[in-house]
Amino acid sequence: MLFNSFRFLFVFLPVVLGVYWLTPSLTWRKYVSVVASYIFYGVWSPKFALLMLFTTSVDFFTARLIDDTGNVRRRKFWMMVSMISNLGVLGIFKYYNFFAESFNAVAPGLVPLLHVVLPIGISFYTFESMSYTIDVYRGKIPALRHFIDYAHFVTMFPRLVAGPIARYTDMASQLQALPRWLPAETVVEAIHFFALGLAKKILIADYLAAKLVNPLFSAPGGLHFFSGWGAALAYTAQLYFDFSGYSDMAVGLALLLGFRLPRNFFLPYASRSIAEFWRRWHISLSTWLRDYLYIPLGGNRGGAARTQLNLFLTMLLGGLWHGASWTFVIWGAYHGGALLVHRVVSARFRPLPRWLGLAGTFLIVVVGWVMFRMPTLGAALQVYRAMLGLNGLGGAWLMANRYRLAILAASLCLSFTLDTYEFRPAPRLRWAVAYGLVLVACLTQFSAPSPFLYFQF
Amino acid sequence: MLPQPRNSTPTRPVAAKSPSRYVWTFLTTILIACLALALFNYVVNPLNYYPPRLVRPLSYGDQLVKVDLMNRQAAGPDVLVLGSSRTMKLAPADVTALNGMTAFNGGVSSSRPEEWYAMLRHALDDLHWQPREIIVGVDLETLFYHGESNEDLLSSPDLRQHLPADMYRESLWNRAALLISWDQLLLSRKALALNRGARPPAAITFDPDGLLHYVGWEKAVAEGRFQFGVEFNIRDYRRRYDGLDGFDEQRKALFEQMLKLAAARSIRVRLFATTFHPAVLAEMVKLPAFNQVHADAVQYLSAAATRYQGVTFADFTEITSFGGDQDNFFDGVHIRQENGRRQLERLLQQ
């Protein structure tokens, strides 16, 4: 079920919120949340809801077994069971065909392909589950004793399919002390986050996708210098508004259930270095990778060369997390390489002037998004060719698309300045009317709802 | 790498003077704006989807026009032609000239098996026609299409009553959603503007027997200034075939119900696969999905022709199969009447 659909907004959400807050028992309220989340997910695919139930059950029981024993080898064994279960499911559904096709490209017919569909949100809830068992293994948190408590944490529908990737350590106190009633002040905050998130997605990201990104990238061979850059910049804005819009909506919806989710974006395009960019973009993923991959690999404890390698490997696997395709691997390696260069340069030279750091970082990011967006390496190279001017300038395209480009320029300006956490107008009634009208403007686009870009990961 | 504080949602609390009033104002704004928008679109009704008929709609949709023409027929024809816009140039007069039987062309744009079935049911059950034959031009990809039905079909009370409830229920929801859509608002505005001034000439018209006329194209042909092109069709049909993987079971079931219904009433059924201009076909055969769909559909329709009594099938995908002329096309898929006549000759010989 999409947040940007009538069924969700006018049927599912009011019913769930009504039942949830009218349920007097806090324990039963958890059941309401879990059932609602399974319905939310099961509407898309009931069998994959069962898959989620399976992985949730495995992690719940293995975490208890880890917590119940003081034997180090047994703790490690049950932790491995949990990892194999999570990574196995992820491997089969997300990566098996990718590796099979890669082998078959070298030796045709060597590995049989599976006819499987990627379960939506699997990368997100698998990472949340893994962080829980790892934290129990590390002794940072005790294992939960009741399955409903754990299912409540993993399946919470606002962040189920595209994050933010919450950790149990972030949510524990909230999950253990559910509020009895929803204060109106919290609803005001929720309106702010949800309405702005929806507007980012519907009014900006979808517009850019329909008018610039999709038409231009569908025929990369026909791009010229200006249209190539136009497409790359439009996708840069689209991806930010699509994903940060989703995250804002998730934050708003979670507030309506009485929870505060971790922040996922902080004006990433206003970063002055690529390292800063990764502290501001998809924060919940980058911190997850830091704490559960980079640091276990050795972090920066093994000398400069080892640190560089760990950093590069983390980014490479971060790229692969986004999708089973060589373009994502290359994109991850590209960012890994950029981080290495930044690390070396920043250790030896003075920082760049602010404007230069900002422009350089933005350029690196925009160029990387092309690889992220295109389905094949060949198609990405076609776009790069156009962006280098090797297909000519194509100046006529600029004039023919001047209004769209004006909207793109405005969108990019907003991506540098509009932070949903900082932009908090005084809650006067005229703003309530404004938010209401913004939401209605979004509703007028609901007749053909479009999925979020990060659902595919 | 990546050190940062893990901020949680709100960095500073919002202190509303009256948060409850704020929330109610927000909800009331949404309610009022949605109701106003819906009421406006409902009353103007630009696509004729809703009961009010206060403003002349922009388009009735072929389905509604054809049903209207069917309802006006004094007597039922001997031959009912069904199919998409690619069948709409099969002239009833040519049928009469070839075998002496009266005919009505019930072809409608983008039609699929549910259209053919609903139109046949409307003809037989509601209008009590007793046709001796039906001719169905099958766009093969429609048997594989998994999407929703045409809104024009579902907005026709005469036709939708014959469809399975699940097809129709979805449409009710869609039409309610359209009431507050931006597109519908623009169409309403356009409908009102056109009602104030002179309407532009229609792009297509229909004879009382259902034969289609492309007003602009036919005028251009008559004046010798017609510009032929197939690029749009190649793009369009590539898109239509992209991702097709297996029959749509509900559409297949409706198609078979149509054949069963015809067999039960002793109506002869002449099925044919609609044709492509050679330039379009040359591009389409490069697509594995096209070749797969074509092979599967032809096998299925040939089998249906042997399974049901009184059913024949002809594959007219290539123009050579019916002696067609590549110069008698309006574009890459829409034939002119001369090619329609040749198709009828070949069909009626079977």
> What is the ipTM score, two decimals?
0.83
Q: Using one digit for the tens of pLDDT, what is the confidence trace for A57-69?
A: 999 999 999 999 8
Please report the pLDDT score of residue B38 as a whole number: 94
**Interchain CB distance below 8 Å, B28 and A286:** no
**Interchain CB distance below 8 Å, A440 and B10:** no
Quote the CA–CA distance of A284 and B290 in Å, as a whole number. 44
Amino acid at A67: D
Q: Is the pLDDT of residue B4 over 60?
A: no
With CA atoms as reference, report the closest residue to B311 among B75, B136, B59: B136
Q: Is the pLDDT of residue A285 over 50?
A: yes
Backbone torsions φ then ψ of B266, nearest 5 degrees: 55, 40
Asked whether the beta carbons of B343 and B275 are under 8 A apart, the reply is yes
Which residues, other chains included, contact A281 with Cβ-Cβ below 8 Å and sequence gap of 6+? A265, A268
Q: How confident is the model at residue A447 (pLDDT cuts 50, 70, 90)?
A: confident
Asked whether the beta carbons of B42 and B52 are under 8 A apart, the reply is yes
With CA atoms as reference, report the closest residue to A3 among A207, A197, A231, A272: A197
**Mean pLDDT of the region A289-299:** 89
**Mean pLDDT of the region B177-204:** 82
Q: Using one digit for the tens of pLDDT, what is the confidence trace for A197-256?
A: 999 999 999 999 989 999 899 888 889 999 999 999 999 999 999 999 999 999 999 999
Quote the CA–CA distance of B204 and B214 in Å, as a whole number. 5
Nearest to B14 among A185, A287, A443 (CB): A185
Q: Taking CB atoms and an 8 Å cut-off, how many pairs form between chains A and B?
A: 137
**Interchain CB distance below 8 Å, B1 and A314:** yes
Q: Is the pLDDT of residue A414 over 90?
A: yes
Pairing of strands B268-273, B311-315: parallel
Sign of CA dihedral B60, B61, B64, B65: positive
Q: Chain-wide mean pLDDT for chain B?
A: 88
**Interchain CB distance below 8 Å, B2 and A286:** yes
The DSSP output letter for A180 is S
Asked whether the beta carbons of A66 and A78 are under 8 A apart, the reply is yes
Q: Using one digit for the tens of pLDDT, what is the confidence trace for A296-340?
A: 888 888 888 888 899 999 999 899 888 888 899 999 999 999 999
Please report the pLDDT score of residue B5 as a whole number: 37
Sign of CA dihedral A160, A164, A167, A170: negative
**Mean pLDDT of the region B118-139:** 95
Percent of chain A at pLDDT above 70?
98
Task: Please list the alpha-helical segments (H only) found in A206-302.
Answer: 206-208, 214-217, 225-256, 274-280, 283-289
Q: How confident is the model at residue B60 (pLDDT cuts 50, 70, 90)?
A: low
3-state secondary structure of B84: coil
Q: In what order do the strands lie in the sheet with B133-138?
A: B103-105, B79-83, B133-138, B268-273, B311-315
**Mean pLDDT of the region A131-145:** 92
Pairing of strands B212-214, B204-206: antiparallel
Taking the alpha carbons at both ends of chain B, their separation in whole angstroms is: 77
**Residues of A forming the active site:** 322
**Interchain CB distance below 8 Å, B181 and A436:** no
- For residue A164, say if its preceding peptide bond is cis, omega within 30 degrees of 0: yes
Which residues, other chains included, contact A114 with Cβ-Cβ below 8 Å and sequence gap of 6+? A92, A96, A97, A100
Interior CA angle at B73 toward B71 and B76, to 5°?
105
Backbone torsions φ then ψ of B105, nearest 5 degrees: -90, 110
| Residues of chain A found within 8 Å of residue B12, distances taken between Cβ atoms | 424
Q: How confident is the model at residue A181 (pLDDT cuts 50, 70, 90)?
A: confident
Quote the CA–CA distance of A202 and A446 in Å, as a whole number. 9
> Most B CBs within 10 Å: which of A6, A131, A188, A248, as the mutation test of the B interface?
A188
Interface of B with A (CB under 8 A): 1-4, 6-17, 19-23, 25-30, 33-34, 37, 173-174, 177-178, 180-185
Nearest to B6 among A188, A262, A445 (CB): A262
Q: How confident is the model at residue B1 (pLDDT cuts 50, 70, 90)?
A: very low
Q: Using one digit for the tens of pLDDT, what is the confidence trace for A261-280?
A: 989 999 999 999 999 999 99
Q: Is the pLDDT of residue B201 over 80?
A: no
Q: Which two tokens stand for residue B161?
A: 């009553």
Q: Using one digit for the tens of pLDDT, what is the confidence trace for A108-127?
A: 877 887 777 778 888 888 88
Give the pTM. Answer: 0.75
Q: How far is B240 from chain A (nearest CA, A)?
A: 16
